[in-house]
Structure 1
Amino acid sequence: MTYANFTRRTLVATAAGSAAALASPLPVLARTARAPRAGRYTGLTENGVFAFKGIRYARAERFAQPVAEPWDGPALQATSFGPICPQRALGDEAQAEDCLYLNVWTPEINPRAKRAVMVYFHGGAYTTGSVTDPLTHGGRLAADGDVVVVTVNHRLNALGYAWLKPFDTRYSDSGNLGQLDLILALQWVRAHVEAFGGDPARVMVFGQSGGGAKIATLMAMPAARGLFHSAATMSGQQVQASGPAHAWARTQAFLAALKTDVEGLRTMPIERLREGLAAVDPILGGSVYFGPVLDMTNLPRHPFWPDAAPQSLSVPMILGNVRDETRAFLDPRGPKLKGLDWSNLAARIQPEIKIDLDPVWVVEQYRLHEPAWTPEQVYYAATTAGRSWPGQVIEADERAAAGATATWVYQLDRSSPRDPLRGAAHTDDIPYVFGTLDAPGSYSGTDAVARGLSTTMMTAFTGLARTGSPGLAEWSSYRLPNRATMVFDARSRVVNDPRRWERELWAKAPYVQPGV
């Protein structure tokens, strides 16, 4: 697509103006006292922007393709979030199979406004999560970034990714239904976002953790081609999808735990189906994993193996990670760190990595390169570089090797000022991009450094949405062999290949995508 630079528009306060202006509908401005309306949906005003919450974009029968919700019809209130997909645990939020809802925040309801659109997919792998998390409310990003923000819920876990095709071809799409939901949501954006002041020709998708993995997967799905024009993934990647044999083994384990067959699975109460998600995964151990399946129709190839999917090489992309990813889920105050020392460090690292290298040798290499580091520092560096980071390196390198239009890579280094043991952990980039520094669950703090970094990261992301290039002139694109990386910190700067020796160490053996 062709990108154009758009500056913040001057909003007209009175009806006076040229004859041309008088001949066109006046924009509905965020300062008006009226309840905002777009199409048949009535929203609300929140902190200077319009919010439309709980817009149904589709309906779906269990294990069937989603069907688009009509745009026209009786007037509807869009003032509260819809239910989230059923999952094992996520607070006290309402859960229901009828969960195909999205939310829109916009500074202006005017079809002529043509603001860039940022569509967010949530994390939680493919099993849990929602966009109702206060960290991902889009009001501040819409206001401060002058963009239209859309956040999407979709089917997860067995409802979105159980592989049932071996039972019956009626279920041929079952392994990728969650992805098909996202595709339908993007089709909704293309068809209707103009009514909310958005530009359907400038749609950026962005997502953290599992949300980033969903985006990487969409980049290899033919039905998603052309539905977004730029992308950003935050600590989320999908090098390979699940093969059908592993997906089938997981579905069988799930059915065995429920003591049922496919017909029982299709008709049982959702509460019972949700209980089955505690089944033991026959490949990975732990709770059963569901994710995208290489079904050769909806997903005809792996997203980034053996190379970057050609269909998305023209899509400008930001790839990001945080320095201490695993501090978020390997609790520094928990049992896995209790009593950690040099004598047991290798054994503690072994179960946490996804690259098959001798952990004793790994520890030796870390001590050789970083002799001042403590066992805890080595533990988190090694588990991050051997588990959470390699997928991003592979994706960035494959895009560079294939001559992709443009790729930019970042690393968040700023440690949490709220928790000194957390470092810069998984999810910590979310509040900086959304501007939700003071939201529950944020570890960013609200000091001057946090506010400045939030402005910088928001500028980069909204710049990509507007123009196809981050809004930071000093951020050079990622190319081989330099591997330019923006290090976001109190003083952000571009560094070439900032963790080179770690990257080279972990590249000595293949990375195995969790779930495949």
Structure 2
Amino acid sequence: MEPTRPGKPESLRPITPGEPVRPLEAAATRVCTTRQGAVRGRTGSDAVTSFLGIPYAAPPFGPRRFREPAPAASWDGVRDAFTHGPSAPRAPYAPPMDALIPDADGGQGEDCLNLSVWTPHPGPGGGLPVMVWLHGGAFSNGSGVGPAYDGAAFARDGVVCVNVNYRLGTDGYLRLPGRPDNRGLLDQIAALEWVRDNIEGFGGDPDRVTVFGESAGGMSIGVLLAHPRARGLFRRAILQSGAAHHFLRPATADLITAHLAAELGIEATGTALTEAFARVPFAELLPAQAGLRAEMGARPDPALWGEAILNMMPFEPVLDALPLPAADCGVDLLAGSNREEYRLFLVPTERLHRLSERKLRETTEAYGLDPDKALPVYAENRPGAGPGELFDAVATDWFYRIPAVRLAESVPGTHVYEFAWRSPQYGGELGACHSAELGFVFDNLRDPVYAPMLGDRPPQGLADAMHGAWVAFAATGEPGWDVYDRETRTTMVFGASPAAPTELVRDPRAAERALWEGVR
């Protein structure tokens, strides 16, 4: 569906000095001021006030299509911030992922560069730590809004929480002549600049900002850590199941653009190519970009897709080289992954027990390992494991765990975690899969949106431990365990045992980790 221009919200109206306010309204709403104008939020029974759908940049469409984010327009009076703003135009998750991965039910639209704030101190003078959430979704899906990422639990525990929407897919990451690369990342930087300029008015401390994200959100942070325009915008960072590892080189990004243009019947070149993409209705563009993955699977030839064929992600940050941050980057880091990430892509699709030995060996070699040396090491820790289970272990390390380890090795003082709680879903085979930690991090297990992934009895004690560690890290830079170094490789494991929600481990699965030394 084509995004619509929202126009001027009906709730923008001047406030007359001395205007009487009904007692219920006075108790239920609060007003905070931004540089663009005043916003009215709603206070819940938990004493947390939410301000939803605040624009941090102008709608990136019309003459602003495929350009850097521009400043949001100002408004007069007080703008009601009671509902989330529209998300970026995107295709829905394909089945069966649509039932498992939390996504917003709200609308999509042109005014998608917006954010939401939850605070226990709506007004200046709070001096509270701030956490800014960047959602995942392979840079093509997902949304920063919706019940799954409700920030009330963070605000309840003394943190100002900010959730961000940013451009995805073609609009966010397709390489186009005459337009800047990585527009979705530039949106994230604009949102962090908004936080720097405005969060004090919501009770937050702009010098105590932690940016945290999962999957594509974590990968985004891995790039932002080394991005000159992001320097100084955050003091701490939490990277969940994604670090500085996955990107497209410019030549590969050009291949992706050519494939999508061919799918849409676009034959133009240069700036005319960019203009042609801008004319494609979203009803055609979104299915076409979603279909790129299917085409990659049907024709898995590196000559056609470059390095994108390894992770099946046609939309990613476009970079010339791996963006590892400097050892003295000045940012406190917490990074980690889930123990069985890749099961999310193997179990619901029924590939876990169908994957062949040949596919396992081909992929292991493509990742840079010698199958004859590596696979026996993985099999030793998994007696009786079939090709699919070994594929999960190898792909989880390549895609998620090893990038986090390398980040910790490059930045002294980094804390490392692993999420190991195994979901009971799909007969217990779903395991500690990709995105299974989200409900625990947000301490939002009671929301039914997580039930398909976590079942009906996920352990609240684990949420207390994990959410509490995230809050402590945002407040102090210390999540509650020692830093990772090359000698001890200290790792906090969440949920490995039903008897205890946490376990401190030195160098988990050391032999498997050692296989990747020197592999790029």
What TM-score does the superposition give when structure 1 sets the normalisation length?
A: 0.81
Q: Structure 1 residues 31, 469: closer, same or farther in 2, change over 3 A?
A: farther
Q: Give the distance between the partners of 1:35 and 1:250, measured in 2 at CA.
A: 47
Q: Structure 1 residues 195, 251: closer, same or farther in 2, change over 3 A?
A: same
Q: Which stretch shows the higher mean deviation, 47-56 or 215-224? A: 47-56
Q: In structure 2, what residue type is equivalent to 1:139?
A: A
Q: Counterparts of 1:186-205 in structure 2 under 5 Å?
A: 186-205=192-211
**1:114·1:199 contact (CA, 8 Å) conserved in 2?**
yes
Q: Do residues 365 (structure 1) and 365 (structure 2) align? A: no
Q: CA-to-partner distance for each residue in 1:280-306, whole Å, 9 max, x for gaps?
A: 4531459761221227xxxxx5312xx
Q: Do residues 231 (structure 1) and 203 (structure 2) align? A: no
Q: What RMSD, in angstroms, separates the aligned Cα atoms of the two structures?
A: 2.6
**Structure 1 position 191, deviation (Å):** 0.8
Q: Structure 1 residues 499, 130: closer, same or farther in 2, change over 3 A?
A: same
Match of 1:51 in 2: 50
Q: Give the distance between the partners of 1:95 and 1:63, measured in 2 at CA.
A: 17
Q: Structure 1 residues 65, 367: closer, same or farther in 2, change over 3 A?
A: closer
Q: CA-to-partner distance for each residue in 1:454-474, whole Å, 9 max, x for gaps?
A: 11112211112112222x2xx
Q: Do residues 64 (structure 1) and 64 (structure 2) align? A: no
Counterpart secondary structure, 2:190: helix
**2:90·2:286 contact (CA, 8 Å) conserved in 1?**
yes
Q: Do residues 303 (structure 1) and 301 (structure 2) align? A: no
Q: Give the distance between the partners of 2:504 and 2:420, measured in 1 at CA.
A: 12
Q: In structure 2, what residue type is equivalent to 1:429?
A: E
Identity fraction in percent: 35
Q: Give the distance between the partners of 2:160 and 2:257, measured in 1 at CA.
A: 39
Match of 2:117 in 1: 104
**2:28·2:44 contact (CA, 8 Å) conserved in 1?**
no
Q: CA-to-partner distance for each residue in 1:195-230, whole Å, 9 max, x for gaps?
A: 111111110000011100011110111000000000
**Structure 1 position 451, deviation (Å):** 1.7
**Structure 1 position 193, deviation (Å):** 0.9
Q: Give the distance between the partners of 1:354 and 1:252, measured in 2 at CA.
A: 24
**1:254·1:288 contact (CA, 8 Å) conserved in 2?**
no
Q: Structure 1 residues 119, 352: closer, same or farther in 2, change over 3 A?
A: farther
**Structure 1 position 105, deviation (Å):** 0.6
**1:346·1:363 contact (CA, 8 Å) conserved in 2?**
no
Correspondent of 1:289 among 309, 314, 318: 314
**2:32·2:39 contact (CA, 8 Å) conserved in 1?**
yes
Correspondent of 1:249 among 240, 246, 255: 255
Q: CA-to-partner distance for each residue in 1:361-405, whole Å, 9 max, x for gaps?
A: 433333345446565543432332243322212212222xxxx3x
Match of 1:314 in 2: 330
Q: Give the distance between the partners of 1:252 and 1:334, measured in 2 at CA.
A: 29
Correspondent of 1:270 among 282, 306, 328: 282
Unaligned runs of 5+ in 1: 1-29, 296-300, 512-516
**Structure 1 position 505, deviation (Å):** 2.2
Q: Structure 1 residues 408, 354: closer, same or farther in 2, change over 3 A?
A: farther
Q: In structure 1, what residue type is equivalent to 2:50?
A: A
Correspondent of 1:142 among 126, 146, 155: 155
Q: CA-to-partner distance for each residue in 1:330-352, whole Å, 9 max, x for gaps?
A: 12x53423456xxx435346448
Q: Counterparts of 1:21-420 in structure 2 under 5 Å?
A: 33-39=27-33, 40-48=38-46, 49-59=48-58, 60=60, 61-70=64-73, 73-90=76-93, 93-143=106-156, 145-164=157-176, 167-168=177-178, 171=179, 173=180, 175-239=181-245, 241-260=247-266, 261-277=273-289, 278-279=291-292, 280=295, 282-283=304-305, 284-285=308-309, 289-294=314-319, 302-304=322-324, 308-309=325-326, 313-331=329-347, 334-339=349-354, 344-348=356-360, 350-351=362-363, 355-359=367-371, 361-371=373-383, 373=385, 377-399=389-411, 404=412, 406-418=413-425, 420=428
**2:354·2:388 contact (CA, 8 Å) conserved in 1?**
no
Q: Give the distance between the partners of 2:359 and 2:282, measured in 1 at CA.
A: 40
Q: Structure 1 residues 354, 317: closer, same or farther in 2, change over 3 A?
A: farther
Match of 1:462 in 2: 471
Counterpart secondary structure, 1:329: helix
Counterpart secondary structure, 1:117: strand
Match of 2:430 in 1: 422
**2:148·2:444 contact (CA, 8 Å) conserved in 1?**
yes
**Structure 1 position 320, deviation (Å):** 1.3
Q: Which stretch shows the higher mean deviation, 284-293 or 207-216? A: 284-293
Q: In structure 2, what residue type is equivalent to 1:303?
A: P
Q: Give the distance between the partners of 2:247 and 2:353, measured in 1 at CA.
A: 35
Q: Give the distance between the partners of 1:94 and 1:223, measured in 2 at CA.
A: 31
Q: Structure 1 residues 42, 291: closer, same or farther in 2, change over 3 A?
A: same
Q: In structure 2, what residue type is equivalent to 1:178?
A: G
**1:220·1:309 contact (CA, 8 Å) conserved in 2?**
yes
Counterpart secondary structure, 1:318: strand
Counterpart secondary structure, 1:112: coil
Correspondent of 2:439 among 431, 446, 468: 431
**Structure 1 position 52, deviation (Å):** 1.0
Q: In structure 1, what residue type is equivalent to 2:54?
A: I
Q: Structure 1 residues 496, 106: closer, same or farther in 2, change over 3 A?
A: same
Q: Give the distance between the partners of 1:433 and 1:230, measured in 2 at CA.
A: 16
Q: Do residues 493 (structure 1) and 503 (structure 2) align? A: yes
Q: In structure 2, what residue type is equivalent to 1:498?
A: P
Q: Which stretch shows the higher mean deviation, 126-135 or 412-421? A: 412-421
Match of 1:13 in 2: none
Q: Structure 1 residues 188, 71: closer, same or farther in 2, change over 3 A?
A: farther
Q: In structure 2, what residue type is equivalent to 1:243?
A: R
**2:492·2:504 contact (CA, 8 Å) conserved in 1?**
yes
**2:364·2:370 contact (CA, 8 Å) conserved in 1?**
no
Counterpart secondary structure, 2:399: helix
**Structure 1 position 412, deviation (Å):** 0.9
Correspondent of 1:483 among 476, 485, 489: 489
**Structure 1 position 270, deviation (Å):** 2.7
Q: CA-to-partner distance for each residue in 1:419-442, whole Å, 9 max, x for gaps?
A: 522111111111111101122125
Q: Give the distance between the partners of 1:65 and 1:287, measured in 2 at CA.
A: 26
Q: CA-to-partner distance for each residue in 1:42-101, whole Å, 9 max, x for gaps?
A: 122334211111111101211111112145533211111111111121575422233101
Q: In structure 1, what residue type is equivalent to 2:125?
A: R
**1:444·1:450 contact (CA, 8 Å) conserved in 2?**
no
Q: Which stretch shows the higher mean deviation, 102-111 or 344-353? A: 344-353
